[in-house]
Amino acid sequence: MRGVSQSLRCCGILARMPQLPDAAPATDSVALSPRGFPLLLNAAFRLWWRSLPATLPLSLPIALLAQPQRVELPTLDALQSDPDLLIDWVAPLFQAHTWWLFAALSLAALWLHAAVVLRLAGQHRGAAVTLPAALWLALRRLPGFAVTVLLYGLLCALPMLPMLGIMAWLGLQGLDLPALMLASVLISLLFSLPVCWVAIRLMLAPYAAALDGDGPLASLRTASAAVAGSWWLAMAYVSMPLLAFLGVGFVAAAAPALVALLPGAEASSLALDWSLRALGVIGTALVWPLLHASLVVLHAAAARRTV
């Protein structure tokens, strides 16, 4: 990948694209250990804060793409009077253009995510990667990055397949609703453990693909080796920015329902709706770079130790 960049530079294509300096930040020599944990976390928060001017132009479109669309479901009375309403509501989900649109929007979001990661890595190394340079390099590495993210998601979801089979079997046993709900909750908690283990163990794979240009399998191997022996510390490290991310998402999703309960909310429902949507977009645009910054710092420290 470095040879490709040099060849393109000779042709003048990447003449202005900055290279990340070889000098590593001080935190790159810090191990993911109880003593190094606060140093890495402090470096991640500092990187996020000073990189906001560089990441917001990319994270704002990501937040806009991630905004949930309101869907009006047919009521139970309407379904009882006309069962075909459910078919009419589900039919667009199986049309080809729906899936093509979903794929295009997903690739656009992944492209922007990769550019955010590259700009954060540049800030971490002390090199200001320009917006066009980050977008161009992210576009070149998008195929490997997208496949790596897809494999990561599939591997995280793989432990859920037995759970779905067990849930389907329980549904056929004629259990009472309270017993069925209790069994479902216990089984979900049980199978969430392997999902969490895989998610933490391989969480650096997309960053290896975006920053190092590694292929999907090599990225998964690199991520697994980086977290080996430090799974609990890695989980504690990523849980802090992840809680901030989930907290903002929960507030953005629950705020419209809570505001609708206030007196006089119906009179200004449109203004409130747009205001809450705007706050949700801004909050999401702020916390995405925080999560990326935490993992960029961790990936850099792990990569430097293996050199």
298 vs 224, 227, 275, CA distance in Å?
A: 13, 10, 36
- Calculated CA dihedral for residues 19, 25, 28, 32, nearest 10 degrees: -130
CB 134 within 8 A of CB 14: no
Indicate the pLDDT class of residue 210, thresholds 50, 70 and 90: very high
Indicate the pLDDT class of residue 6, thresholds 50, 70 and 90: very low
Tell me, what's the pLDDT at 97? 76
Query: DSSP letter at 9?
Result: H
Check pLDDT > 60 for residue 121: yes
Token pair belonging to 90 = 């589900």
pTM for the structure as a whole:
0.78
248 vs 212: which has the higher pLDDT: 212
Tell me, what's the pLDDT at 155? 93
Indicate the pLDDT class of residue 4, thresholds 50, 70 and 90: very low
CB 225 within 8 A of CB 306: yes
Q: Where are the domains of the chain?
A: 30-68+75-306
Query: DSSP letter at 214?
Result: -
Indicate the pLDDT class of residue 16, thresholds 50, 70 and 90: very low
Dihedral over Cα of 70, 240, 154, 197: its sign:
negative
Tell me, what's the pLDDT at 267? 47
Check pLDDT > 90 for residue 202: yes
Q: Taking residues 29-40, report their average pLDDT.
A: 70
35 Cβ contact list (under 8 Å, min separation 6): none
The span from the CA of 231 to the CA of 155, in Å, is 17
